[in-house]
Structure 1
Amino acid sequence: MPPPKPTLPPVAAPSIAPFDPWNSSSTGHQRAETRGPLGWRDSRNAKVNAQFRAGPSGGPRIQDTVGPGAADYDPALGGLVSREVRAPATSSVADMLRNPGTMLPPTAVSKEEEGLTAEEKRMVARKKEDEAAEGRKHERKIFDGLVVYVNGSTYPLVGDLLLKQMLAENGARTSLHLGRRQVTHVILGRPGTVGAGAGGGLAAGKMEREIRRVGGCGVKYVGVEWVLESIKAGKRLPEARFSNLKIAPSRQRSVLSVFSRAENVKTEGSAQETSWVFSAK
């Protein structure tokens, strides 16, 4: 009888919780949870922005627009099938013979418009458009129409999640990736310097690409102070005063700094003249 095989000791239980840094929203290095096209980015952006606008409750559950989590996803076919295409497929030939007209698309004319003339139909259509426009009207907010991408740490002024919630509550949309066709503002952390900063500036390679691509004028790079001060003032403040990173070449001077110095010199000169007049009297 052969000797029994030695048993292996049990595997030690992990002492720390697993963490996947490649699917973190804060780092920006994200990986799609489903296979397919890059539509998962738009789907994820829509869900995250809806959660930020809803506040602590998170709002109602929103389904994905791509992948198995979508409402129109068909597991048998492994893809998206719209409801217009799926509805006729559920009807058999017997149903078609029993209920003629089930395969026809719905008509655009409702029952209340059947006996109206062309002019009356136009009036009804205009009334519906006006009602829809009234329903779409909302109070204009500070950051309406802006798409913001947060690059780096916003410590110690505000946390990144609270910052994104503040942006969503004031009309802006946050993007999880730097898409140049939609992002209008990039919020940078404090650039890393000796004894200060949080490493929020752009790397040398990224800065060089920005200068060569658009001369630094395509996307506005601002600090988190711009968001906080704009919300405090109740209006969108100019971005030039809150730019904590210079995209232009090192020898190129800022127009804002030139005019600011001229204004300061003029103010100091008038103050000295006023003091000289009072002292002469």
Structure 2
Amino acid sequence: MNNQAAYAQQQDTSNAVVTVSGLTKAYAGGKTVLQDVALSISPRECLGIVGESGSGKSTLARCILTLDPFDQGELRLDGQSIRGLKRSELKRIRSRLGAVFQHPSAALNPRLTILQSLLEPLDQLKYYVPSFMAGKSSERRDTAEHLLEMVKLPASYLDKFPHQLSGGEKQRVTIARAISTEPDFIVLDEPTASLDVTTQATVLNLLKDLQDELGLAYLFISHDLAAVHFMSDRIMVMKEGSVLEHFPKEALFHSDRHPYTQSLLEVFSTCCLPTEPILL
């Protein structure tokens, strides 16, 4: 058994919000894009995945979000296997998942106001009132205002369109939308890659604050090892669809790291791998 498999087996999966075992996927033509991937994520935990483009990170994310099928293995969400689920059951499980992707402009319909975009997930649930609105108001606009407040945007933005917002502001809107249905777990797939350095820091700090406030579990995917180190409790390194290493983030600088991980580390010095909130 290799080190990463041994470490994966040591993780307590009894209360995991996400458990993946033996996940394998190949595209038409036979190219394997995921090979025997295993992971688990507990409540309030962030698992970071780092690797170069084409390593399988985003494909894994789409499989976990039930957006893409996989060929072998098992995916359990809140302890329930997704295999054989009826469409209605799968829809219920999907409401417990959130996602924030790299390009907020692509995630927001340019024809919809920010209010309309924020309410899209809630409109799918009809009578659902988020617990953070308990005792306040069941009006959808009030809910949208509260969501903007949670991501530090003014209520006046509700009537704006995406093109009127900066890249960082649009990404905050997608984060607000991701938390609107009170998910247990959110996939963050390169959420800061398209942003400037200052805005990256703002978004990372916001994500940390929301995790603490709402008790969220994250899968944080990036090619940026500094961001992964800042956000994560554990780090998984992927290459060519396989997991090379899986370790607590405190072990990132250990001398026995895989040569590929060491090559990623060479890009960064310890001064640019923050462990405390990034100050602006």
Fold similarity call, TM over 0.5: no
Q: Which structure has the greater CA radius of gyration?
A: 1
The two structures have a TM-score, normalised by structure 1, of: 0.23
Relative CO higher for 1 or 2, CA cutoff 8 Å, sep ≥ 6?
Answer: 2
